[in-house]
A and B are shown apart, each in its own frame.
Chain A
Amino acid sequence: MTQMADNAAKPGPGRTEGLMRRLGFSGRTAVIAVPYLWLLLFFLIPFVFVLKIAFAEPRLAMPPYTALLVWADGIWPLVQTTWRNFLFLFDDRLYVVAYLNSVRVAGVSTLICLLIGYPMAYGIARAGTAWRTGLLMLIILPFWTSFLIRVYAWIGILKQNGLINNALMGMGLIDEPLPLIHNDFSLYVGIVYSYLPFMILPLYANLTKLDGALLEAAADLGARPFKAFLTVTLPLSIPGIVAGSMLVFIPAMGEFVIPALLAGPDNLMIGRVLWDEFFSNRDWPVASAVAIALLVLLVVPIVIFQRYQSREVDAS
């Protein structure tokens, strides 16, 4: 701060620069302003629109919902809102079922990602420095191809006359194709495959920071390797587990593409309900209410995530 004050006192900066500073513009505020402006423009304002629509009534017009403010006779506009759309979410069991199903699918996917991702992250963190870069590269490499193409590729692998079924039948191991696609199995394959890197990377970042001396201390005090893992490595990696789980759980909750391409017809996730409400049913207010409800549902895990993040920042 003193340095900035010194700079300000020095002669040199032009008159406009001085003015800018007096108005509160400086290099620092400019840098901080950019992300805030971005969030304001592309997140907060659209969110306000959605919020507004969620409280409107549907109508057959363009746009297909009633206005928030009605200019009646008086000077002040009339605010017209309704809770009907939110109440409707509880009236029709479809929505509750879809929400619960989404929670279940996201939860199970997160658990599978954790069970697969933890050993992988642990292995990479423990690998020699020569190997580590290559192994991390393999985790990140799939991002170089479009997400959509990769999910489509799974259709080719899993379908009736796809790679796996053809191979198994060719070897004579099975007589008729296994039902690998358009069921829960293919849905979990798709989600776990797509989100596994989001579990591995934060876990790796956490595990690689673990001080090797702690494990030596545990061994020195009589803990066998597995006991040392349970009592030292695992508790210290909880922030990584929480971060990875949130990064998988939150997007998996609202996932639309993977269920649409890989899930069975009876598997109803909230993302698909949202899509149908918007595009098939053209009921924008209800669709918006679904979106707001999803957001509120996700705020809880996000808050947990934030708390762990800040706790870890404090600790280090």
Chain B
Amino acid sequence: MSSDTAEPYIRIENVTKTFGGFVAIEDVSLTIERGELFSLLGGSGCGKTTLLRMLAGFEMPTSGRILIDGIDVAGIPPYQRPVNMMFQSYALFPHMTVESNIGFGLRQEGIAKAEIKERVNAMLDLVQLGRFGGRKPHQLSGGQRQRVALARALIKQPKLLLLDEPLAALDKKLREQTQFELVNIQERVGITFIVVTHDQSEAMTLSSRMAVMNEGRIVQVGTPSEVYEYPGSRFVADFIGSVNLIEGRVLRIEGDNAVIEAEAAGGELLAECGSGLAAGEPVAIAVRPEKLSIGKDAPPGDENALRGVIEEIAYQGDISIYQVRLPSGTIMRVTAPNRERSARRSLTWEDEVYLSWRPDASVLLTS
């Protein structure tokens, strides 16, 4: 156990992995603290699973180093790493009962039978499978199998638990329920989790921090709200949730805000900006659909306002999604909660509306 606070628990240093000529991971560096629930988020083929498999020891980095609790794990085979993995397919041993599946890891260490039984029972309780210890995996439901896989990976109390798409095989309702269970279990056992997922809402619900990956690189690391509210690039803004991107050019800086000339908006828009932005620079204003207000009345003067026509309304029960066409032809996406019953809602197709948002509700993107 390292008590050195300066040294992060997991340190991935400039790791690159190539398969033949294909670069799966390109110069990735990442640090993860003890007890975090960290997500690796990205589309298929972005390298997130390869990174996970390198942590487990199934793949070796082509270059770079991986340190777990201060120890370089290069050359340590999977069966000696203080790391356990929950496989996407669960990889439960079909010829063993739930109990012997969960106890498998302990049996490899020559632990006394009585102690194994005790710890297996504790695990069965933790994942609420107490009555199913004697069953075979094929006699369980998908959700139960998922919990067996989790229990089996947790029982050795690894320094790091890797979860490869832990919820992908479950149906939507069960998945949402299990997300919270997973977070609860992680908090109780206090083990560092790294979760690989392609599902952004899963990553946001589960994790304390997340890394967004694209084409073998990490494009942004942060807490879910940081990544959502302050995406660093067009890719992240677009990948996490949905976003309206308005392309434009910086005219001048006015205090905290930049004045942007945007052709699509047919005029000037204000957007909060950091430092280091120069006039003439091409930028994109990223504004989330739920940050926009939609209404028939003109907004107060200090807000950005655009006029448009409602082209589509997607009624989803709790919210409605409006597609508003601007005079320039650009389509803006707006979501608004349905506070009133549908008969009393005033907005309908072909209505002329104002879209408005405050300058600090958007993010300026340069890349």
Chain A positions near chain B (C-beta within 8 angstroms): 211, 213-214, 216-225, 227, 231-232, 235-236, 315
Contact = CB atoms under 8 A, between A and B. Distances in A.
B327 interface: no
Interface of B: 56-58, 77-80, 83-85, 87, 89, 91-95, 104-105, 108-109, 138, 152-153, 156
A30 B176 CA distance: 52
Contact of A236 (B85, B87, B95, B153): B95
B87 A217 contact: yes
10 contacts: A217-B87, A217-B92, A219-B57, A220-B56, A220-B84, A220-B85, A221-B156, A222-B79, A222-B156, A225-B79
Contact of A216 (B78, B94, B153): B78
A238 to B, nearest CB: 8
B108 A222 contact: yes
Contacts of A231: 93, 104
Contacts of B58: 216, 219
Contact of B78 (A219, A235, A236): A219
Given A213-B87, A214-B91, A236-B94, A221 B105 contact: yes
Nearest to A227: B108
Given A214-B93, A220-B78, 9 more contacts: A216-B78, A220-B57, A220-B153, A221-B84, A222-B108, A223-B104, A225-B79, A236-B94, A315-B94
Contacts of A222: 79-80, 105, 108-109, 156
B108 A221 contact: yes
A109 B78 CA distance: 39
A220 B79 contact: yes
Nearest to A314: B138
B94 A221 contact: no
Nearest to A221: B105
- The 5 A-B residue pairs with the shortest CB-CB distance, nearest first, are A222-B108, A221-B105, A217-B91, A213-B91, A219-B78
Contacts of A232: 93
Contact of A223 (B57, B85, B108, B152): B108
A223 to B, nearest CB: 5
Contacts of A211: 89, 91
Please indicate which of the listed interface residues B80, B89, B91, B105 has the most CB atoms of chain A within 10 Å of its own CB. Answer: B91
A216 B105 contact: no
A315 B89 CA distance: 17
Contacts of B56: 216, 220
Contacts of A217: 85, 87, 91-93, 152
Please indicate which of the listed interface residues A211, A222, A232 has the most CB atoms of chain B within 10 Å of its own CB. Answer: A222
A221 B89 CA distance: 16
A224 B79 contact: yes
A219 B81 CA distance: 10
Nearest to B56: A220
B95 A235 contact: yes
Contacts of B57: 219-220
Please indicate which of the listed interface residues A219, A221, A227 has the most CB atoms of chain B within 10 Å of its own CB. Answer: A221
Contacts of B156: 221-222
A219 B79 contact: yes
B221 to A, nearest CB: 26
A216 B105 CA distance: 12
B77 A219 contact: yes
A206 to B, nearest CB: 13
Please indicate which of the listed interface residues A216, A227, A235 has the most CB atoms of chain B within 10 Å of its own CB. Answer: A216
B86 to A, nearest CB: 9
Nearest to B102: A221
A218 B89 contact: no
Contacts of A221: 79, 84, 104-105, 108, 152-153, 156
A220 B78 CA distance: 5
Please indicate which of the listed interface residues A211, A213, A217, A225 has the most CB atoms of chain B within 10 Å of its own CB. Answer: A217
A224 to B, nearest CB: 6
B89 A213 contact: yes
A225 B57 CA distance: 14
A200 B57 CA distance: 32
A214 B104 CA distance: 12
Contacts of A227: 108
Nearest to A234: B95
B311 to A, nearest CB: 44
Contacts of B79: 219-225
